[in-house]
Structure 1
């Protein structure tokens, strides 16, 4: 029997395989301003963050001012790219079908993005009424607020919940809120999550046994 009563999933990179897609769009747009970065840079500096913080980092890399409409353009381009290429994380549907605990999603992305990507990957029905976006409370990871909000609404204490994350900021946010957190390491190219998360795994096939 699991010691946990609820599982809180991050979205990007945990439920949907969106990290490469979204970060490549951001890399392309930054390079249009002369940033000269690649996808590895994006994973090291943008992954798990929210777009406003990413733009502030890009501003320090380029000589010309970033246009006011940069974020709106990013949303448009990335949403189109998601529609073309996004897939569910391999094995996650099996996890959701067989997870015998309440669960929800808590993400740094805006709710419209969460719903778009869950819908495109046929996962939205699992999370109706259980979507928690940092934008709704204007608090972003590594602050723990979105996880604390999610656990409260779901009806559980932090110590009763398990968070599944794939980013350093997400793991730090969960730990700051008093949650156990497992790190999904498919895109953890520098093996950074192992030192932070309670446990790590690189395949969704492992997760149910761990819980």
Structure 2
């Protein structure tokens, strides 16, 4: 068996669970533009979908045109706020990182 030379992590779902928080930020973003969405539906429909694609889909469904850069600004600000106050490591992530002796990248 070959020796492990390095370990690369994708943060979401491995070290932290940010998808739920991002879904809540989408809901807040759309509320700023008068569109009400259900957080659970947003999570189910848009997990892993790029921000501008989500904006396009929801805009089309609601018959509006949103300025993507303005919407993105609202979204990024809300994500930062929620990450600062609510983002937590997945159970065992810290112990895993402490146990790995190979170089790591996140």
Class of the TM-score when normalised by the shorter of the 2 chains: 0.7 to 0.9
State the partner residue of 2:60: 60
Q: CA deviation at 1:3?
A: 6.3
CA distance in 1, matches of 2:48, 2:61: 19
Q: TM-score scaled by structure 2?
A: 0.76
Between structures 1 and 2, the one with greater strand share = 1
- 2-side partners of 1:100 and 1:65: how far apart? 50
SS of 1:61's partner is helix
Aligned length: 104
Q: Which 10-residue stretch deviates more, 79-88 or 23-32?
A: 23-32
Instruction: Return the TM-score normalized by structure 1.
Output: 0.42
Partner of 2:100: 99
SS class of match (2:61): coil
Tell me if structure 2 keeps the 8 A contact 1:21–1:78. Answer: yes
CA deviation map 1:146-191 (0-9, x unaligned) = xxxxxxxxxxxxxxxxxxxxxxxxxxxxxxxxxxxxxxxxxxxxxx
Which runs of 5 or more structure 1 residues have no equivalent in the other structure? 106-211
Query: Could you say which structure has the greater relative contact order, defined with CA pairs below 8 angstroms and 6 or more residues apart?
Result: 2
Contact 1:59–1:66 (Cα < 8 Å) also in 2: yes
Structure 1 runs (4+) greater than 4 angstroms displaced: 1-4
Bigger proportion of residues as helix: 2
User: Unpaired segments of 5 or more residues in structure 2?
Assistant: none
